[in-house]
């Protein structure tokens, strides 16, 4: 069986492997197709595509956009997620990397990060964790090749280096994670806007790691998925490193029921996480089905133009 991995990060955002290096790792893992899905940037796509081409690996250009989990249209009337908990990330797969509207949204999301990072550092300072924005920028710059995506993993790296946390995970568990004392919310797109932007850039909109929605129960999950589908969502991740086999089964059933495509990936971040590339054993047929749906959708939109 051939496998694929349709969710991973490079040094263009908060992974630790260069975009081109991912192709080598994918080849070593025996993968037939990969998608690069950096947060808020398409900067790594060209290099990764070229490296995949050279190795005969099918490449899917992607992006991961954080949307507002607490958008009013997702508020289920029954038991639901606590404020500040739950994340709603949307992957764009098969996007055009140079779409001007998508690039503008990415620019705004990076601006929201620039606004948030000093506030996290100020909170850490009040908690006795002394690090500077310059140190975090330097840590990110070593890796992001000047692409300027600074995320919490970069802050966590500096905390580990300066002895404030044992590991990156430890920094998240005690300080940086959602609901922890140095957590700061960042401005996020309403989900419908993220989905529309992905569609305008020619891509499929796929809900990443539905486990992170932290839905209260099956009813709440069905409600949120239905609202997202109404907004144009094409599919959802069934396989992901944070899903247990039972989660994968229940998400696969929900996807089938709602007519959503299934996707899957490891969410590999190199040394910033303990996840292994290709570890989700996503069958290549998942990639092929997504590609078929994308081609059908592109044909429809071309016919419309
Ligand atoms: P940010 O984009 O700055 O909000 O950071 C989000 C990223 O932080 C995620 O994509 C993960 O890479 C990482 N992250 C989030 N929660 C954790 C956690 N509990 N442990 C390790 N990494 C995490
Ligand atoms: Zn990340
Ligand atoms: Fe995510
Ligand atoms: Fe991710």
CB-based contact 39:64 (threshold 8 Å): yes
The pLDDT confidence band at residue 102, using thresholds 50, 70 and 90, is: very high
Ligand 1 pocket, residue 269 CB under 6 Å: yes
Instruction: Tell me the CA–centroid distance for residue 158 and ligand 3, in Å.
Output: 21
Instruction: Tell me the CA–centroid distance for residue 299 and ligand 2, in Å.
Output: 32
pLDDT at residue 267 is higher than 90: yes
Report which protein residue has its CA nearest ligand 1's atom 2: 151
Report which protein residue has its CA nearest ligand 1's atom 22: 169
Of all residues in the chain, the percent with pLDDT exceeding 90 is 85
Report which protein residue has its CA nearest ligand 1's atom 13: 153
Place of tokens 């044909």: 299
Q: Is 273 helix (H, G, I), strand (E, B) or coil?
A: coil
Cα gap 3→53, rounded to integer Å: 17
For the segment 167-186, what is each residue's pLDDT rounded down to a tens digit?
999 999 999 998 899 999 88
The CATH class given to the 3-98+192-304 domain equals alpha beta
Instruction: Tell me the CA–centroid distance for residue 102 and ligand 2, in Å.
Output: 19
Average pLDDT of the residues of the chain: 94
Ligand 1 pocket, residue 169 CB under 6 Å: yes
Report which protein residue has its CA nearest ligand 1's atom 20: 169
Q: Give how far Cα 236 sits from Cα of 76, 102, 145, 207, 259, Å.
A: 19, 20, 31, 4, 10
Name the residue of 152, 267, 272 whose CB sits within 8 Å of the most ligand 1 atoms, as the mutation to test its pocket. Answer: 152
For the segment 176-223, what is each residue's pLDDT rounded down to a tens digit?
998 899 999 887 899 999 999 999 999 999 999 999 999 999 999 999
Q: Determine the average pLDDT of the residues in 2-17.
A: 95
Which is nearest to 251 in space by CA: 239, 241, 259, 242? Answer: 239
pTM here is: 0.94
Residue 204's H or E segment, with its range, is strand 204-207
Nearest 5 degrees, angle CA 222-CA 203-CA 61?
115
Which is nearest to 36 in space by CA: 55, 53, 23, 54? Answer: 23
Q: Determine the average pLDDT of the residues in 7-12.
A: 95
Strands 58-67 and 88-93: antiparallel
Q: Residue 162 CB: number of other CB atoms within 10 A? A: 12
pLDDT at residue 261 is higher than 90: yes
pLDDT at residue number 222: 95
Q: Is 89 helix (H, G, I), strand (E, B) or coil?
A: strand
Helix ranges restricted to H, the chain: 19-28, 45-55, 100-126, 133-144, 152-161, 168-171, 191-200, 218-230, 245-258, 284-304
For the segment 112-163, what is each residue's pLDDT rounded down to a tens digit?
999 999 999 999 999 999 999 999 998 888 776 656 788 999 999 999 999 9
Cα gap 223→254, rounded to integer Å: 11
Ligand 1 pocket, residue 267 CB under 6 Å: no
Instruction: Tell me the CA–centroid distance for residue 38 and ligand 4, in Å.
Output: 7
Cα gap 73→207, rounded to integer Å: 16
Cα gap 234→199, rounded to integer Å: 10
Tokens of 25: 């790792």
Ligand 1 pocket, residue 209 CB under 6 Å: no
Report which protein residue has its CA nearest ligand 1's atom 17: 172
């Amino acid at each position: 069986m051939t496998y694929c991995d349709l969710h991973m990060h490079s040094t263009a955002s908060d992974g630790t492997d260069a975009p081109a290096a991912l192709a080598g790792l994918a080849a070593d893992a025996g993968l037939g197709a990969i998608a690069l899905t950096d947060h808020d940037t398409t900067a790594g796509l060209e290099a990764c595509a070229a490296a995949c081409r050279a190795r005969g690996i099918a490449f899917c250009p992607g992006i991961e956009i954080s949307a507002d989990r607490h958008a009013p249209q997702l508020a289920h009337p029954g038991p639901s997620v606590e404020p500040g908990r739950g994340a709603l990330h949307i992957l764009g797969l098969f996007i055009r990397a140079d779409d001007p509207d998508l690039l503008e949204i990415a620019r705004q999301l990076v601006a929201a990060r620039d606004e948030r990072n000093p506030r996290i550092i100020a909170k850490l300072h009040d908690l006795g964790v002394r690090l500077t924005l310059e140190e975090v920028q330097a840590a990110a710059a070593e890796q992001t090749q000047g692409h300027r995506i600074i995320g919490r993993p970069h802050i966590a790296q500096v905390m580990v280096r300066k002895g404030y946390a044992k590991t990156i995970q430890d920094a998240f568990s005690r300080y940086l994670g959602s609901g922890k004392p140095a957590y700061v919310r960042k401005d996020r797109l309403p989900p419908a806007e993220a989905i529309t932007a992905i569609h305008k850039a020619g891509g499929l909109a796929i809900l990443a790691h539905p486990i992170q929605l932290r839905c209260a129960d099956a009813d709440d999950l069905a409600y949120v998925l239905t609202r997202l589908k109404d907004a144009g969502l094409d599919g959802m991740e069934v396989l992901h490193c944070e899903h247990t086999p039972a989660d994968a089964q229940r998400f696969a059933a929900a996807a089938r029921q709602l007519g959503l495509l299934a996707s899957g990936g490891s969410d590999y971040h190199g040394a910033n996480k303990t996840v292994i590339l290709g570890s989700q054993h996503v069958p290549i047929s998942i990639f092929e089905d997504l590609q078929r749906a994308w081609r059908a959708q592109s044909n429809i939109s071309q016919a419309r133009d």
